[in-house]
Amino acid sequence: MVKRSPGGSVVQGGKESGKSVHISFFRRTMMVLALSCGAFTPLMAQNNAGCFFLCRPELKIEPTFTVENLFSQHRVAEMEGDNLVAVTRSKREVIFEMILALDIPTEIPRVGFTFETIFIPFASGSENPFTGRTAHQLGRTSIRNNSPEVEIELNLEWLRPKDTKEWVGSHFDIVDKISPAERPGDAGAYTHKLNFELDTAVSVFNWLPKENWLRNIEVEGSLDYVATGLPRAGDRIGNELFLDHVGGWSFSLVFVIPLVPLRP
C-alpha cells in the first residue's frame, strides 16, 4: 500500500502495523513537546543570563507557505508490469503548513536548538495508508493526507538581531527530519532524513514601541535542502517508476508568531 505526499513522496506499511506506528509516533511527538516544556518551565522565570547551558525556551506557531520542487521537477513513469503507459513530470507547487516550534537558546554563543512538529492541513490523497480504505469506498472525493513530521535542529547563528538593531537575524540549521518514508527499501513508516536550512527573519514591526506585542512577529525566508531519504532515479513503487532523482530544494515563507512567552 502506497501513500503519495504533496511533493511526490511515498510511505509503505501494513494496515495494522502502519496504524500503530502512526499513533505511537504521534504520541511520542506530543510527549517530547510536553516534557520539553515541563523540563524548562523553571528556566522560563529566569533571564538567559542565569540559565544553565539550556536557556529559556520560546514556543511559537508558524503558518508557512512552502514552494516544493524548487529547482528541478522529476519525471515519473506509470507502468503496467514492464510496459510503459505514460510519463509525467512533477510541478513546482505551493503547500500550506502549520508548524509548532520550540526554540531553546544555549549559553554557547550563536548556538541553539529547535524542536518542530509540522502538519499539512489541506494535503489529500486517494487512499488511507494505515487502513487501506480508498476515498471511493468512504464516499469521498479524497482523504486527508495529514501525517505529522518532526524536526530536531541545531541552529548556528551567523547574523544576530542585536547586530542589526533587532531588525534582521539569520542562522544555518543542521536538521534531523523525521517524516514518512519515501524510498522503496525503507523498513519503517517514518525515516530519518538529513536536512539543511538557511533561515533569515525580518522583524517587520520593529518600529513599534517595545510594549506592543506585534513587535515580536517575524517574517522569515527559509531555503531548505533535504540531502537523504528522497526517491532516486530507478526507484519503483507500485506502478510508478522514478526516472529522475527527486530534488530536495524548497523555499518557505514563514510567519513566526510567539505563544510562550508572548513577549520574548
Cα 210 to Cα 238: distance, rounded to the nearest angstrom: 57
**Other Cβ atoms closer than 10 A to 246:** 24
AA identity, residue 38 = G
Instruction: Compute the C-alpha angle 158/164/166, nearest 5°.
Output: 100
Interatomic CA distance for residues 103 and 54, integer angstroms: 10
| pLDDT at 51 (0 to 100) | 83
Collapsing DSSP states into helix, strand and coil, what is residue 212?
A: coil
- State residue 152's pLDDT score: 98
**What is the percentage of the chain residues whose pLDDT exceeds 90?**
66
DSSP state of 196: E
What pLDDT, in 10s, does the model give residues 53-92? 899 999 999 999 999 999 999 999 999 999 999 999 999 9
pLDDT of residue 14: 43
Q: Which helix (H) or strand (E) holds 23?
A: helix 15-39
- pLDDT tens-digit readout, 118-162: 999 988 888 887 787 888 899 898 888 888 999 999 999 999 999
Domains of the chain: 2-260 (2.40.160.20)
Helix or strand (DSSP H, E) at 17: helix 15-39
Cα–Cα dist 261/42, whole Å:
13
What is the share, in percent, of the chain residues with pLDDT greater than 70?
A: 81
